[in-house]
Chain A
């Protein structure tokens, strides 16, 4: 830390070095690390009324985590509901991530390799525009689209595909479509950047040597774009599993997202320690999954960019 500071002083002068150190320290310690540690601390405490905080009953406990596994009943139970919600959330997030990858890869490839100059820039702009529209409004649009008198049902019934309206909300179709839609851009951009930097001659050389189009992709483009694919998938997975607005608006009545559990314990439940414990569980599980996947695909965190 002292060496770092001296080095910064030597390069930038005292005033700038102080600014750099101060700004980064405030960020890292006051905004990132300490709040997370406080939350960790909270998750190991009982939910006590303010008067008892700091009193003899304010001791560390694993009660909150135990609740997640065993539920509120007597010991030995199994909290099938909450654990089920966690697994469903993760599974759905994986599904949405893979879906996004499949639909975005061709788009990124076409944009990066088949379009040129002004056209490509216009298409990229067209990709960004929907992303600047509020998350809530995007979810709302899907609510309209998939409602029982929504456009999809109207068209479907008009074409005679089905007789009575399908309840897409209840079936979670609207939720998946809305989530996939919400983070499309975060999948396309890393893919686009990765594929764009691939020398087109490599593709042509592969074709020249007799590779079929899918061999070109499987053996040349995809291995090259692997860091982009990994960072796109990481971003989409983390954002989907951490989403709150879309599940609140598009989620079916009997279907909860894990973030909604956190929200409930925190707000309506008024149980901050349990909310913290659930948030910790979400954070740990997600990060473990991402690190595991990155290990499998041999990609480092340094390659993740927006």
Chain B
């Protein structure tokens, strides 16, 4: 056997680096969700904790946002899928000239920036509402309805592309065959074309739902006074970095991974090569059935939840707290010996667990908070203390200041 030449290893190496860029930030974010430090970070590692998950469950705003997101997601699917399907079918049936211009119109919402779509949707329905003298409680001003309309505008285009790639593989002689055998055009549509499109309807539904769930740019305009999962998340991120956000990421990543694994297993299970292997060994058939895999993953998830509920990180956190106190004590004593400077005295703030880590972590708050303030034009009083309050590093005032330019 010959060793691979260095040149042949370049693609593998490049892929490794690329996937490191792709997954590295996510992995680090996941790790921070289990560190008891109040600021999301990997080092210094304090204690393994699952408290941040508990904090999520107790977050009413987030739960409400998720609820709204689910309602909007279902609404978007119900409206966008029939539209996307109709558009794809229409494109497949018109002449080349009309097809080109229709395609340009249909694809436009994907290229138009999300903020523009959100804004125009809001303005348009506001004007319609004014025209009809509709009261403020009517749906013209309702965040959920507006968000569904806004998101459908471009998600219908996404689903159209899914349908289009499927319908391109449709053999139009099948419809002709159905007509020839006495089917009415409607019967041919329902009994031949629609069943052919069924798998694409499935995948377009998943895609549309996910696109709706994760949309921010459009939603932030159309949601008005209500909230969705992403808008709640975004205000959480902007008003203070907090490991509970990492915990949200852990949950989302887990769901995505489980979905991906089940998808892959299902694919392999249904693929021809595997069918042969499986056919010879009944045990393998049971073990690799997508249902079995889903079951195992489910058991693992429940196990993780039970573990989280029973695991108690209090002992460790208390110990860390003690260490910090000791360190702080030591610093104070040192300070009283040296000439005290304002920066050094500041760490003795009201919340002991956060800032006073001396050389390692303490200046993080100072540095970032300070910069934000320095640049922000008119940030208000409390943030001018470089060390901020409880979670003062990215206190709302700072960000508001920086945005208000």
Contacts and interface: CB of A to CB of B under 8 A. Distances in A.
Q: Do chains A and B touch in the complex (CB under 8 A)?
A: yes
Interface string B20-54: 01111110110010000001111100000000000
A253 B402 CA distance: 5
A125 interface: yes
A13 B116 contact: no
Interface in A229-245: 234-235, 238-239, 241-245
Given A125-B264, A149-B39, A181-B21, 8 more contacts: A13-B187, A14-B186, A31-B149, A132-B214, A137-B233, A137-B248, A154-B43, A276-B120
A248 B234 contact: yes
A242 B119 CA distance: 13
Grouping DSSP codes into helix (H, G, I), strand (E, B) and loop, the A interface class, with mixed when no group exceeds half, is helix
B290 interface: no
A172 B111 CA distance: 25
A304 B111 CA distance: 10
B307 to A, nearest CB: 23
A245 B216 contact: yes
Given A170-B375, A181-B21, A248-B234, A114 B11 contact: yes
A12 B113 contact: no
Nearest to A17: B185
A192 interface: no
B119 A125 contact: no
Interface residues of B, number: 109
Contacts of A241: 113
Nearest to B261: A125
Contact of B264 (A110, A122, A140, A264): A122
A103 B119 contact: no
B185 A10 contact: yes
A238 B117 CA distance: 13
A57 B280 CA distance: 83
B256 A283 contact: no
Contacts of A160: none
A145 interface: yes
Given A253-B375, A256-B405, A129 B112 contact: no
A140 B235 CA distance: 12
Contact of A144 (B40, B90, B210): B40
A71 interface: no
A293 B336 CA distance: 66
B263 interface: yes
A126 B26 CA distance: 13
A31 B152 contact: yes
Given A24-B87, A282-B113, A137 B29 contact: yes
A127 B260 CA distance: 11
Contacts of A121: 264, 267
9 contacts: A20-B89, A27-B152, A35-B123, A39-B123, A130-B26, A135-B230, A165-B363, A252-B375, A259-B217
Contacts of A150: 41
B97 to A, nearest CB: 12
Given A16-B186, A39-B120, A136-B216, A302 B83 contact: no
Given A27-B87, A145-B25, A282-B116, A290 B93 contact: no
B107 A147 contact: no
A253 B401 CA distance: 8
Contact of A283 (B110, B113, B149, B230): B113
A217 to B, nearest CB: 13
A286 interface: yes
Given A107-B15, A245-B217, A275-B119, A141 B26 contact: yes
Contacts of A128: 260
B249 interface: yes
Interface of B: 11, 14-15, 18-19, 21-26, 28-29, 32, 39-43, 82-83, 85-87, 89-90, 93-94, 98, 100, 103-117, 119-121, 123-124, 127, 130, 149, 152-153, 156, 158, 161, 165, 184-189, 210, 213-214, 216-217, 220-221, 229-230, 233-234, 237-238, 241, 245-246, 248-249, 252-253, 256-257, 259-260, 263-264, 267-268, 361, 363-364, 367-368, 371-372, 374-376, 398, 401-405
B74 to A, nearest CB: 18
Contacts of A44: none
Contacts of B89: 12, 20
Contacts of B220: 244, 263
Contact of B87 (A11, A23, A243): A23
Nearest to A265: B119
A34 B222 CA distance: 16
Interface in A110-168: 110, 114, 118, 121-123, 125-130, 132-145, 147-151, 154, 165, 167
B249 A38 contact: no
Contacts of B259: 132
A282 B117 CA distance: 12
A12 B25 contact: no
A90 interface: no
A300 to B, nearest CB: 8
Contact of B104 (A248, A253, A301): A301
Nearest to B160: A27
Nearest to B373: A253
A305 B124 contact: no
Nearest to A43: B123
Given A135-B214, A263-B115, A287-B111, A249 B234 contact: yes
B216 A13 contact: no
Contacts of A239: 113
Contacts of B402: 251-254
B237 A126 contact: no
A220 interface: no
